[in-house]
Amino acid sequence: MRALLSVSDKTGLVEFARALYELGVELIASGGTARVLQSTGLPVTTVEQFTGSPEILDGRVKTLHPAIHAGILARDTDADRQDLERIGAKMIDIVAVNLYPFKKTVSQRFVTLKDAIEHIDIGGVALIRAAAKNFERVAVVSDPCDYDLVLKDLRQHGHVTLDTREVLALKAFAHTAEYDSAIRDYLMGLSPASAPVVTLTLHKVQELRYGENPHQQATLYSLNGSCDGVLGAKVLQGKALSYNNLLDLDAAWRAVSQLEQPAAVIVKHNSPCGAAIAKDLSHAFRAALLSDPISAFGGIVAFNRTVDLATVEALGTLFLECIIAPGFAAEARHALAERKNCRVLEVQDPEACRRVKWEYRSVLGGLLQQSVDHGDPAGAEWRVVTQAKPLDADWPVMRFAWTICQHVRSNAIVLANRLDDAVATVGIGGGQPNRVDSVRIAGQHAKERAKGAVLASDAFFPFADGVQVAAELGVRVIIQPGGSVRDAEVIAAADAAGIAMVFTGARHFRH
């Protein structure tokens, strides 16, 4: 019995190879895999020795050889054995191969196209597909997690059983399909043109208790092979996440990850109801909570810094479904443990959110795909269009309000103001069929805090009525995209009220 080993991920490799050797399996290995095994003293036949041909093209061609592929693809027939004998090849019974880490390579911030191309595995994919195709005789191992499964069969039966080979083959084809999809997705991301065919590989993470409502079935899938869950976050405490929890966590983390200063964002029903930036997280949370303390009950809060004990104490007795952050101090973890019904999630890769390029949404019979809205596109310019000009102190408040507005459901209106040492939302209105109602709702939450506030609108004002209501609330600055056929009327209404208005040139609908 022979095994071909050619792995990029060398987790468990030496232990697996040693166990195979002890079971009487001849070891064949390529390149770095052979060197690792030889360094441990294991007897290994290199691919060059097995084929009689050296590696060429700087290692691009190693295993692409008739002796290798004939040994894998040969069936258990006299005719195939005669063909192998004619070319001096031997049967290969186990193929353990995993591929160059293409997804890991292209996820790096400064990766070049040349680097990405060099991490497209050719020989490995060919080996996996050949072995999977011939699963009736060959066992293909594309995941180090399956080494023990193969060894268990060998020890119990003297061979890898057909049932195991079928499972491994299915997993192998799924592996190469995902790999090809990753390459396609990366190359598609280099071009503004959308691909005519898109293949999504989804990894089942867990069955959910139910969907948005108890009578709906639901499952969580991950787009990455690690299956770490939503946003790669680790659940530190609390019961299993629900469908609605996952949606709210996504909304909260997307929003808070766009803020540079210490920030807190509270989300309820998939839309922010309070947000703030301050000198530290505890002050940010207190300011965010003032925006809408009623809606915050039973909500989700996201922080963009490590949560300390002072921040946990700032939560007071407020009931929260989930807390998500990039880290938690030991004292904070201990204090949060007393909140038995609160899930606590630690984001493993805080920068991952910024690297996501595409998002998908289902419609009946299909999917909508769009590039992720990471903020104003290149070329968008802010310009003051009114007689009144924003003060220097207004610009940080405008930038904050504009960022939060991008995460509120359309029609979105955000009122923001300075609260002591924080910049915070004081009123949010969203999800309304018309913009003026959103202004009114934001004003109802803000009350007196609307005076002197900045108002951000995710899209242009189609009429002057929204500006007129803002003036009645005491708003001093408005930031909006502009672009309405009635911009002149809207600007005139702002001038009449003494409101400074800035056009951004970029719209941020979120339906």
Q: Which residues are catalytic?
A: 133, 269
Q: Measured between alpha carbons, how far is 101 from 108 in angstroms, rounded to an integer?
A: 11
Q: Are 275 and 287 in contact, with CB atoms under 8 Å apart? A: no
62: exposed, middle or buried (Cβ count in 10 Å: 0-12, 13-18, 19+): buried
Mention every residue, 6+ apart, whose C-beta is less than 8 A from residue 171.
142, 143, 146
Q: Angle 145-150-154 (CA atoms, 0-180°, nearest 5)? A: 155
What is the H or E stretch that residue 325 is in?
A: strand 320-325
Chain centroid offset of residue 361 CA: 15
Which residue type sits at 250?
A: D
Q: Measured between alpha carbons, how far is 282 from 274 in angstroms, rounded to an integer?
A: 14
Q: Measured between alpha carbons, how far is 43 from 27 in angstroms, rounded to an integer?
A: 7
**Total residue length of the chain:** 511
**369 DSSP 8-state letter:** E
**310 DSSP 8-state letter:** H
Q: Measured between alpha carbons, how far is 42 from 28 in angstroms, rounded to an integer?
A: 11
Q: Are 301 and 253 in contact, with CB atoms under 8 Å apart? A: no
Give me 494's structure tokens.
């702002």
Q: Measured between alpha carbons, how far is 107 from 67 in angstroms, rounded to an integer?
A: 36
Give me 354's structure tokens.
């910024």
Residue with tokens 């805090």: 449
Q: Measured between alpha carbons, how far is 282 from 448 in angstroms, rounded to an integer?
A: 24
Q: Strands of 357-507 (E only): list them.
A: 358-363, 366-371, 383-384, 413-419, 422-429, 454-457, 477-480, 500-503
Neighbour order of strands in the sheet with 45-46: 45-46, 26-29, 2-7, 94-98, 139-141
CB atoms under 10 Å from CB of 382, counted, come to 16
The residue among 375, 423, 377, 415 whose CA lies nearest residue 396 is: 423
Q: Are 237 and 337 in contact, with CB atoms under 8 Å apart? A: yes
